[in-house]
Structure 1
Amino acid sequence: MSDVLAVAEHRRGDLRDVSFELVTAGRELADGLGGDLHVAVISGDVDGFAEMLRLDGVDTVHTVAEGEEFNHDVYAQVVEALHEELDPAALLLPNSVNGLDYAPAVANALDLPLVTDAVDLAYGDRLEATREMYGSKVETTVEVDADQFAVTVRGGEWGAAETAADVDVEPFDVAVDDDAVRTTVTGFEEVGAGDVDIADAEFLVSIGRGIEEEENLDLIRELVDVTGATLSSSRPIVDNGWLPKNRQVGQSGKQVTPDVYLAIGISGAVQHVAGMKGADTIIAINTDPNAPIFDIADYGVVGDLFDVVPALIEQFE
């Protein structure tokens, strides 16, 4: 009872980034426990997903061909059956809409303590899970005094596993009780859907209050065009109606992990930082040298964006 079972997540035919982050988090935890990492993928193109999950650090991938999309009743039954079969110490699930849908039900059925929205995990004599509270202003450490436990992991906090490896793939047969499946998926509608998904962008140019007026968006869009970036923003820009909700980065928007995040006129409030601190390279432009965004930026420019941005456009052109 020292293994880790992580459950991958997919949507509309694609594995979500959190699936690969779960591999990283799961491997770290399995090393602390001294056990193996098992990854399960349920429903959809399980064979195709399994190939993508054959990654360094994974010991076994388990496939369960039940349905096409997420279904609470199916996932709850399958995860419970997998847990009873593998008897792991840790059950890792994504802290997503789907993960939070079935995690409490599974934890209750298996009588497991459940820690949600973990941003860091460590294991010595017991599990220590780090969580953020009060709008990410405070970090707390939760100690779990139990041999077995369940944890939902926040996306964007661990790097995505990438290195392919020779990993066993094992189909798992479970007798799903069809009478207990009381819901069906009738369709899918992306809330706040728009022309792009900023979570998939490799280069984001993000704007905040510092642009002052809506008409100044034209200058930023010019920079976006010449750099081939994607435009995003902090919450005040969306609240003002200058950009749609699907462009918002932050705790109440989307979590993003681009290669480059250029923050223009963004102070760096904790709610915004929570959504973008996983970017590989963070560049900040702000007139205030004490702006919190500079605390996490890899590169910072203290200056007026209306001077800096035109100079950048000229360089890229």
Structure 2
Amino acid sequence: MSDVLAVAEHRRGDLRDVSYELVTAGRELADATGGDLHVAVISGDTEKFADELNREGVDFIHTVSEGEEFNHDVYAQAVEALHAELDPEVLVMANSVNGLDFAPAVANRLDLSLATDAVGFEYDDGLEVTREMYGSKVETTVEVGGDRTAVTIRGVEWPAADGVGDAEVAEFDVDIDTDAGSTVTGFEEVGGGDVDISEADFIVSIGRGIEEEENLDLIRDLVEATDATLSSSRPIVDNGWLPKNRQVGQSGKVVTPDVYLAIGISGAVQHVAGMKGSDTIIAVNTDPNAPIFDIADYGVVGDLFEVVPELIEEFE
């Protein structure tokens, strides 16, 4: 029997969705290794977070009450100490800005093999991780060597854990060196702005296919006709055509609307990570082999400058 340790993630007083997905992924691994699932909650309101994470499948929750927000040194030291205490077979973390900050440091200190951005895995006398390459056009299987391994999982690839659990919750006593080097000086929301796209029910999102900033007027007409919310992939924001708060993806916001209409978006992995949890995905693209069609529920292979006016006319 070998245990699994998953490290939860929170921000501004709330658990992030990936924390519940980590429970599902961790339970999957624990079932394969024949061990228990341990969940670490570090910093912030650990009592509240532990209660919220006490889902079906969690065996133990360990809290470390040090600091309020994410801090590299606090997380690295706490996870290292927990790993030394529990000796888990697999350490599971989020493939997020925070997770990718401390995961390599912990793996290096503990001499763990590390695989990042997993979209799936299997365990049979060792960990095999599925990753995507070439803009999600190719899936690869990687054998992660070593007796003890670490993996970061991509958000929205595993369902969120549900059901009330009966995990044992206990404070983990660890001596954190708060003078280790890094200090949290503040928190700045990505984009701020006039609208929170993560709360939208119907999103119209645009990508490189729009070609020029002037063509945004056509998309805004569609947004108005459908009473939707406008968002975009990263290139549109990088060009300065839309503000940062409108960006969907790994470096933007994660959205889960009822309907996500992707117009002129190829479907790069960074963008897909932010919207693949949408209930219904509709894609419009001239390239029939665009990766966006792999996850779309409905697709139109055609010129957006012909398709969008037809949509506007239909909705009006």
Q: Same fold (TM over 0.5)?
A: yes
Give the C-alpha shift of residue 269 in structure 1. 5.0
CA 1:294–1:109 in 2, change beyond 3 Å: closer, same or farther?
closer
CA 1:96–1:197 in 2, change beyond 3 Å: closer, same or farther?
farther
CA 1:226–1:110 in 2, change beyond 3 Å: closer, same or farther?
same
Look up the match of 1:309.
Answer: 311
CA distance in 1, matches of 2:133, 2:300: 30
Equivalent AA in structure 2 for residue 249 of structure 1: V
| Aligned residues of 2:135 and 2:268 also touching (Cα < 8 A) | no
Question: 3-state DSSP class of the match of 1:305?
Answer: helix
CA 1:201–1:50 in 2, change beyond 3 Å: closer, same or farther?
farther
CA distance in 1, matches of 2:97, 2:296: 30
Question: 3-state DSSP class of the match of 2:22?
Answer: helix
| Aligned residues of 1:64 and 1:171 also touching (Cα < 8 A) | no
Look up the match of 2:182.
Answer: 183
Look up the match of 2:261.
Answer: 262
CA distance in 2, matches of 1:173, 1:208: 46
CA distance in 1, matches of 2:154, 2:47: 26
Look up the match of 2:172.
Answer: 173
CA 1:164–1:202 in 2, change beyond 3 Å: closer, same or farther?
farther
Give the TM-score taking structure 1 as reference length: 0.86
Question: 3-state DSSP class of the match of 2:35?
Answer: coil
CA 1:101–1:280 in 2, change beyond 3 Å: closer, same or farther?
same
Question: 3-state DSSP class of the match of 1:97?
Answer: coil
Give the C-alpha shift of residue 145 in structure 1. 2.6
Look up the match of 1:77.
Answer: 77
Give the C-alpha shift of residue 239 in structure 1. 4.0
| Aligned residues of 2:209 and 2:263 also touching (Cα < 8 A) | yes
Equivalent AA in structure 1 for residue 223 of structure 2: V
* Structure-to-structure mapping, 1:217-296, within 5 angstroms: 217-225=216-224, 227-250=226-249, 253-268=252-267, 272-286=271-285, 292-296=291-295
CA 1:208–1:312 in 2, change beyond 3 Å: closer, same or farther?
farther
CA distance in 2, matches of 1:240, 1:70: 31
| Aligned residues of 2:154 and 2:273 also touching (Cα < 8 A) | no
Equivalent AA in structure 1 for residue 18 of structure 2: V
Greater shift, 236-245 or 214-223, is seen at: 214-223
| Aligned residues of 2:121 and 2:127 also touching (Cα < 8 A) | yes
CA distance in 1, matches of 2:72, 2:280: 37
Give the C-alpha shift of residue 216 in structure 1. 4.3
Structure 1: tracts of 5 or more residues without a match: none
| Aligned residues of 1:26 and 1:92 also touching (Cα < 8 A) | yes
Give the C-alpha shift of residue 296 in structure 1. 2.6
* Structure-to-structure mapping, 1:1-317, within 5 angstroms: 1-161=1-161, 163-178=162-177, 180-211=179-210, 213-225=212-224, 227-250=226-249, 253-268=252-267, 272-286=271-285, 292-301=291-300, 304-314=306-316
CA 1:175–1:31 in 2, change beyond 3 Å: closer, same or farther?
closer
Greater shift, 56-65 or 69-78, is seen at: 56-65
CA distance in 1, matches of 2:82, 2:290: 48
Give the C-alpha shift of residue 113 in structure 1. 1.3
CA 1:133–1:309 in 2, change beyond 3 Å: closer, same or farther?
same
Give the C-alpha shift of residue 282 in structure 1. 0.8
Deviation by residue 1:18-74 (Cα, 9 ceiling, x = unmatched): 111111211222222222222111111111112211222222222221111111221
Aligned CA RMSD, in angstroms, stands at 2.7
CA distance in 2, matches of 1:269, 1:7: 27
CA distance in 2, matches of 1:146, 1:254: 35
Deviation by residue 1:173-230 (Cα, 9 ceiling, x = unmatched): 3232436533221111234443344345443211234445544434433543565533
CA distance in 2, matches of 1:259, 1:269: 21
Structure 2: tracts of 5 or more residues without a match: none
CA 1:170–1:81 in 2, change beyond 3 Å: closer, same or farther?
same
Question: 3-state DSSP class of the match of 2:242?
Answer: coil
Identity level (%): 74
CA distance in 2, matches of 1:291, 1:76: 39
Give the C-alpha shift of residue 306 in structure 1. 3.2
Query: Aligned pairs, how many?
Result: 313
CA distance in 2, matches of 1:152, 1:117: 5
CA 1:280–1:82 in 2, change beyond 3 Å: closer, same or farther?
same
| Aligned residues of 1:130 and 1:140 also touching (Cα < 8 A) | yes
CA 1:123–1:291 in 2, change beyond 3 Å: closer, same or farther?
closer
